[in-house]
Amino acid sequence: MIEDNYKQRGLRNKLVKKLREKGISNDAVLAAIAKVPRHAFFDDALLNHAYEDKAFPIGEGQTISQPYTVAFQTEKLDVKPGDKVLEIGTGSGYQAAVLVEMGAKVYTIEYNKKLYERTREFLPGLGYRPFFFYGDGSKGIPAKAPYDKIIVTAGAPVVPTALTDQLNENGVLIIPVGDRESQKMLRITKTNGKLKKEEYDNFAFVPLLGEQGWK
């Protein structure tokens, strides 16, 4: 079992304070970040950095996202308990853990086989049990659609039509779109079958690989 002591809880509370200062105001998002033991996702060599507001490598050319990015995307997703959420890019599983902590029913898909296997084995040990899938996340998971919310944790060249097609009426899709170096965060809502797009600041994500992502 992962040790989670008062020191780590104190560091999480400091991180939450920093996220508030940076403009994150959703109490449910901040409460989830205050609960998920981020240090459990780090190798021993990087353990002291777990509660810094930075992204860190997790192997396989991937990173665990910066806490601010996780908080920003999750806040824009507007997650409610019981929401059916599709996550594209399981990675370390940290974002999925935050969503599960918020009461969402999470379906998460990972393109990298080693990461998929590692996270599928590791995350339930922390008490977080999303539904894990391996495959091309740019195509979503049509067999389990539709979804109330979809979150993409990798940068896409365009918004995959497969994802907007799998979005429920009044659903929300959060996706970074741009080139391989920098992306704008898009919030897409579906109302009466029509898509409305809002655009936010620049972010830098690893590329979304797949048929409707980067080849």
List residues with catalytic annotation.
Answer: 65
Distance CA 17, CA 176 (A): 25
C-alpha distances out from residue 178 to 4, 154, 201, 211, Å: 38, 11, 11, 16
Buried b / exposed e along 7-21 (16+ C-beta atoms within 10 A): ebeebbeebbeebee
Distance CA 98, CA 206 (A): 20
C-alpha distances out from residue 173 to 30, 81, 170, 199, Å: 20, 17, 10, 12
Nearest by Cα to 84 from 103, 66, 62: 103
Peptide bond just before 130 cis, omega within 30 deg: no
Distance CA 51, CA 31 (A): 15
Which residues, 6+ apart, have CB-to-CB distance to 16 below 8 Å? Answer: 30, 33, 34
The letter for the amino acid at 196 is K
The owner of tokens 């809880």 is 9
